[in-house]
Structure 1
Amino acid sequence: MIVTLLTDFGDFYPGVMKGVILKINPKAIVVDVSHSVEPQNVFQGAFLLYNAYKFFPNAVHIAVVDPGVGGRRRALAFECRNHIFIAPDNGIAYPSAKDDGIERVWVIDERKTSKITGVLSNTFHGRDVFAPAGAYASIGLLKEIAEPYEDEVVKLELFDYVVEDNFIRCNVVFIDRFGNVVTNLKAEEIKGKYLFFEGVKIPIVRCYEEVEKGKPLALIGSFGTLELSVREGSFAEEFGVSSSDSIELKQL
């Protein structure tokens, strides 16, 4: 079975998680979705997971962006119609699980998962809690390390933008390596031909080549949301935009 990993861990830590998974399930196909989520950026992790999970067939998805590691937050497993999501109870998995259709929620017993690794670190639950839980889920043994959970879970809303007439306030979710600014504004909210950002008139186009090199543009990207770009340049650098910024736009 496919097991995906999405974290803010960067290098080293994901490799150890893979070792734990493969020790439990040597037949697992472990796929790295991303380990470059900005540190502690739960919203960004949730957005990337939401836009990735549906391209996998019946997979187990381990998502760990965990500012509350070692604290009182729960470790959960969402058993859904087609997928299983393993994550801390901070909202990172909720949009994806809700989208797939939550059938049951489990709380992971950290004492049981840590017996598998032989240690329960206060800083690396990716290794000692979430990787073992994901591996057990991949072989149909989730109930051996988790119990049904009936309490409320943390809910996160990805598309919490405001559109009033021609005014838009939305959030910068992700800045890719090209400097494209990915927002959480859905495509259907775009009605005009131009956007105004900080006094600059930006054409809404279908693809990059519709503007000259070095000119700003707006389009609907692969996430199905509004992106702000500069052709063969970086919108983020040119306009001083950072991930997690709230930005205001006008459309005409």
Structure 2
Amino acid sequence: MITLASDFGTPYPAAMKAVICSRTDARLVDVAHDLPRQDPRTAAFWLREVLPWFPPAVHLAVIDPGVGTERKALVVRAGEHALVGPDNGVLLPAARRLGEPEAFAIDPDHEAFPGTDGEGRTFDGRDVFAPVAAAVHEAGVDELEGIEWLSATDHADLRFPDPEVREREAVGEVLVVDGFGNAITNVPGDVLDGRFGGDVAVNGTAVPAERSYAHVDPGERLVTVGSHGNVELAVNAGRGDEAFGVEAESPVRVSY
């Protein structure tokens, strides 16, 4: 299969699918096309959390504020998977979860990509990345070295900061805020082991630590562990980011 993720909204993803469908009969699966626009960091987090659940596949991810510039276009092999997208780090956190990343630069001027011949270079998702994803699917992940318009390369990286976990506190930051308003931190969930049903302090204020949202009344704050395994700042039937006054990259200190 080929998965697709972007910040395009609609209808641009349909053009990428049209190109892919003209070149392969791969099964197409949408991951998301409403990722925060021009935000590779947030997209990288969600790709890291979602893509490892797929069986071996080609993953096309286009969050590309540098489209039309000198930034490279990449295929990254990781285990039995291949990731296709811009060289801005967005592919790397997921790739590291899937295997040992090996990066290959795409030659966008090759005759395989006739859509890049014109003056405009605003839609590499359609003109470069979609045909690349189809070609990689047809060739096979183990055969990248044999594709003439690919060459081994270095790559931009993107890494999330590590928290500091001490005897009585963990210090980290909010990585992303999801659509429900849950503020997902980089603090590992195991700091709450044995503490559910009691209080911890978040940035100096006592908050109940619970296993799920409904353990507190609607509108009440809580600290819990999300499906990603990290500490979340949340509100039952509300927005944790607003209640805790945080956003992506806000510092978080959890004391216990």
TM-score, with structure 2 as normaliser: 0.87
**Is residue 113 of structure 2 the alignment partner of residue 109 of structure 1?**
no
Mind listing any 5+ residue stretches in structure 2 that lack a counterpart?
A: none
Mind listing any 5+ residue stretches in structure 1 that lack a counterpart?
A: none
**Structure 2 SS opposite 1:86:** strand
1:31-89 CA deviation, whole Å, 9 max, x = no partner? 11111221121111111111111111111001111121111111111122210011211
Amino acid at match of 1:4: T
> What corresponds to 1:234 in structure 2?
239
Distance change >3 Å, CA 47–CA 167, structure 1 → 2: same
Q: Which runs of 4+ in 1 moved over 6 A?
A: none
In the alignment, the residues of structure 2 paired with residue 210 and residue 222 of structure 1 have an alpha-carbon distance, to the nearest angstrom, of: 16
1:157-203 CA deviation, whole Å, 9 max, x = no partner? 13433334434333323322322112232223445733323443112
Amino acid at match of 1:157: R
TM-score, with structure 1 as normaliser: 0.88
**Is residue 250 of structure 2 the alignment partner of residue 246 of structure 1?**
yes
> What corresponds to 2:155 in structure 1?
153
**Structure 2 SS opposite 1:58:** coil
| TM alignment of 1:1-252, pairs within 5 A | 2-25=1-24, 27-102=25-100, 104-112=102-110, 113-115=112-114, 119=118, 121-140=120-139, 143-144=146-147, 146-150=149-153, 152-190=154-192, 193=195, 194-242=199-247, 244-252=248-256
In the alignment, the residues of structure 2 paired with residue 24 and residue 116 of structure 1 have an alpha-carbon distance, to the nearest angstrom, of: 14
After superposition, the CA RMSD in angstroms is 2.2
Amino acid at match of 1:182: I
Distance change >3 Å, CA 67–CA 192, structure 1 → 2: farther
Distance change >3 Å, CA 66–CA 240, structure 1 → 2: same
Aligned positions, number: 248
In the alignment, the residues of structure 1 paired with residue 171 and residue 79 of structure 2 have an alpha-carbon distance, to the nearest angstrom, of: 34
Amino acid at match of 2:157: K
Report the CA distance between 1:238 and its aligned residue.
2.6
Report the more deviating stretch, 176-185 or 34-43.
Answer: 176-185
Amino acid at match of 1:125: D
In the alignment, the residues of structure 2 paired with residue 145 and residue 63 of structure 1 have an alpha-carbon distance, to the nearest angstrom, of: 22
**Structure 2 SS opposite 1:248:** strand
Distance change >3 Å, CA 250–CA 17, structure 1 → 2: same
Report the CA distance between 1:231 and its aligned residue.
0.8
Distance change >3 Å, CA 90–CA 189, structure 1 → 2: farther
Q: Is the 8 A contact 2:52 2:97 kept in 1?
A: no
Report the more deviating stretch, 81-90 or 179-188.
Answer: 179-188
In the alignment, the residues of structure 2 paired with residue 171 and residue 72 of structure 1 have an alpha-carbon distance, to the nearest angstrom, of: 32
Amino acid at match of 2:14: G
Q: Is the 8 A contact 2:3 2:28 kept in 1?
A: yes
Amino acid at match of 2:96: K
Distance change >3 Å, CA 12–CA 164, structure 1 → 2: same
In the alignment, the residues of structure 2 paired with residue 153 and residue 42 of structure 1 have an alpha-carbon distance, to the nearest angstrom, of: 14
**Structure 1 SS opposite 2:135:** helix
Report the CA distance between 1:225 and its aligned residue.
1.2
In the alignment, the residues of structure 2 paired with residue 21 and residue 120 of structure 1 have an alpha-carbon distance, to the nearest angstrom, of: 23
Distance change >3 Å, CA 9–CA 145, structure 1 → 2: farther
Percentage identity across paired residues of the two chains: 35
**Structure 1 SS opposite 2:104:** strand
Report the more deviating stretch, 192-201 or 86-95.
Answer: 192-201
In the alignment, the residues of structure 1 paired with residue 180 and residue 250 of structure 2 have an alpha-carbon distance, to the nearest angstrom, of: 20
Report the CA distance between 1:116 and its aligned residue.
5.8
Q: Is the 8 A contact 1:120 1:128 kept in 2?
A: no
Amino acid at match of 1:200: T
1:69-119 CA deviation, whole Å, 9 max, x = no partner? 111111111122210011211111112222222364211111234326765
